[in-house]
Structure formats: structure tokens, C-alpha cells
Structure 1
């Protein structure tokens, strides 16, 4: 059965709304702020997250004798089966009394479902250069490149504890430049190569390390 959000996102006269591809599933996920869009990218990059749903539930609650509805932003399904309801909120609005009430409502609802509830702000979503790097990786790191090329890049990297990207390029000179960068960026995006994406803007001077935890399955 196709997924149906709890609230339909209508066109917005002010601000921005849009859709962002969740690359793991191919679904288009609606967002209502750039911060929400960036959260989708962050969730897609998180190897523990398998699925994401927007406007997932409507939570009814009473406040001062009046009925209210709360629509959290996202629902995440993790590989280990855990479920998270996520509220994305700009830091300047996070502690508004009306929002704090919604957080408590969300937490109590999640307790009844044995789910988890979290609030994310730009501190968690946009640290340092992370989103700039993710934007680059989502563009170049998702283009077609052969397994043979990626395997060769990984083999060269395995021979070093760590190496500058430009040095790895020198050791893979038989691969043309375009395919080399496609392979490296894809391996970083798949987290088979690790590098600092928060404190350093991705470049030829980035320090790369082989990530054992992200090693590709031989069946892929």
C-alpha cells in the first residue's frame, strides 16, 4: 500500500518547500524548510537508517481544555528495528513554550508505541562543513562507476594507514580522473572510506582512511 502522510503539504506562499530524494529507497521526501531538507540528507548518509517517512503521524492532545493536533516532521526506521519520531526545529525556536509542549506530547506518544523521540536543530544537522560535503557526495558520489575501479581504489588505500586524496590519485594513475573521483566520492558516501566531513571541506588535501566497518559485501 502506498505511503500516505498524516498531513498533506500544501504550496507555501512564503519560505521554501520541496522534495529531496532518499537515495536508499528512491522515494521523494517532502520538506518544509532547508533544515528539514538537510536532515533528510543526513538520515540518508546514516548507515543505520533504512527508511524515512515525512509527516508520519497526527498526535491529538488537550491543552487548557482545547483540542490540538501535532504533526512531527519525520519517522525513521533503523536497521535494528528501532523507530524514531523526529522533530526538526531551528535553534532559535527550539525552546518556545508551545514547542516544548509538543515535544512532551511527542515523547509520551512514542512511549506508548515503544518508539523514540528526538528533536534535531542545526547544531546536529549542519555542523561545520558536513552539509556542503554531503551535497558534493550526493552529486558525484552516486554516479555510475564500475566495481572493478572501486575495488582498485580500495586496494591502494588498504596499503596505507591513511593518505591524502591527491596521493591516492597518484597511486591510481591508470584510472582516468573522472572515474577516480566518482569512485572515491562514492566510497566515502558509502562510508567504506572515512574522512573528516565536519571540520574539513572535502578536497585533494583531505586525509582518507580505509573503513573496515563499511567494507562492501563480496556479494554486491
Structure 2
């Protein structure tokens, strides 16, 4: 196995940096798409940690040795390790890429690991990605009395909209959205992040 070093400056590449609280590190990414994927990995409840550009492998194709480094290594809550390849739609749908990827997948399978292909369409779901970025923006917020009172209210009533929450707690809607973003980010409460933006109409539920 070998390792690529994205921390070494390169004049020909734009490197994106993602601050991961989950992994306690800065994740270096080679593309905006990989950077956007980090938001999904950061807030996935089944993932304990992740890193970019992990150790690569060498594998044989038609008797020739090829090198390959996946985009991410993921450690699940179960301890299982998976590897992820990120690709835009224009590439991952081609027959050439599919054939090459299956050889890489087989090589990882022989090592006892899964290699998973994640597409641009999966990553750039409009509302979900925007909401995950909102969660990330507030992820370093220290829990305050407001957060504790929001959590107590949600546990008491089980489900209510952010507008109802603001009225009951005598807070402005923006404060409630920010508080809910923090609590959703740590898994204390839930909301539909897939089909609508996090807003005053969002229904907040007990987790």
C-alpha cells in the first residue's frame, strides 16, 4: 500500500479543506464534489470517523500493475471499514469507468473490504446538502440553556414546528433554527432534512 499526500502544496491543484469535528481533523479534498461529500459523512449516524486519500493499493489488470487510491476511508460504528469513490455523473456512467471500477472493487473485496461508488446526484441533493451545511456551520457551538430548554420542550411535546417552538419559548425564529441545527447535528432531535430547507415550518421531532 502507498499514501498520497494532499498536504504537500501543488500549484496545479485546488485543495479543499473540511473541518471535521467527528474525525477531530481537517479533511483534505481534491474537488468540490469530495468536499460536499464530507457533509454527508460528517452527519451520518452510522459513521464513527472518516479520512480522505487513505492508503492506496496495487492491483493487476491484464498482467500490468496499477495503482489506485480511493477518495475516502470510512469507519462505521460497528468497526467495519469501507472505502468510497466519488465521481460526477459524466464520468461514473461511462462503460470505461464502470469496467475499471469493477476491477478495483474486486481487488478490495479480495482484501476483505467494500469499495462503494457514490455519485454526484447522491451527494448534491439540493435540500439535504444545504441543510447539512447549516448543521456544520453550527457544529462547534457550545450547548447553552437555550439548547437545553429546546430539548426539554421537544421531549415533552414529542413533535412541533420551529414556528410553534419560537412562540412557546418567546424566541425569534432564527434563534430556534440555530438551536435546532445544533441539536440535530448531535442526534438529540430529528427533522426532515431531505425534502425541505430547515425553516420555521420544519417539524422537529424527539429522537
Shift of 1:40: 1.1
Residue of structure 2 equivalent to 1:32: 30
The correspondence for 2:121, drawn from 115, 120, 123, is 123
- Which one is further off, 198-207 or 180-189? 180-189
Tell me the secondary structure at the aligned position of residue 129 of structure 2. Answer: helix
CA contact (8 A) 2:159 2:206 kept: yes
Partner of 1:168: 165
User: Alpha carbon RMSD of aligned pairs, Å?
Assistant: 2.4
Provide closer, same or farther for how the CA distance between residues 103 and 65 of structure 1 changes in structure 2, counting only shifts above 3 A: same
2:10 aligned partner: 11
Where do 1:74-153 residues align within 5 Å? Answer: 74-146=72-144, 148-153=145-150
Q: Deviations over 1:21-48 (max 9, x none)?
A: 1111320111111110111111010122
Give the structure 2 partner of residue 206 of structure 1: 202
Q: Any conservation in 1 of the 2:89–2:120 contact (CA below 8 Å)?
A: yes
Q: Distance in 1 between matches of 2:173 and 2:130?
A: 22
Give the TM-score, by structure 1 length. Answer: 0.82
Normalised TM-score (structure 2)? 0.87
Q: Deviations over 1:39-85 (max 9, x none)?
A: 11110101221111211122222334433211111100011011111
Say whether 1:155 aligns with 2:152. yes
In 1, Cα distance between equivalents of 2:61 and 2:109 = 19
Q: Which moved more, 1:122-131 or 1:68-77?
A: 122-131
Deviation at 1:176, TM superposition (A): 7.5
The runs of 5 or more residues in structure 1 that have no matched partner are 212-220
The structure 1 residue matched to 2:70, chosen from 64, 69, 72, is 72
CA separation of 1:12 and 1:46: change in aligned 2, threshold 3 A: farther
Q: Residue 127 of structure 1: CA displacement?
A: 1.6
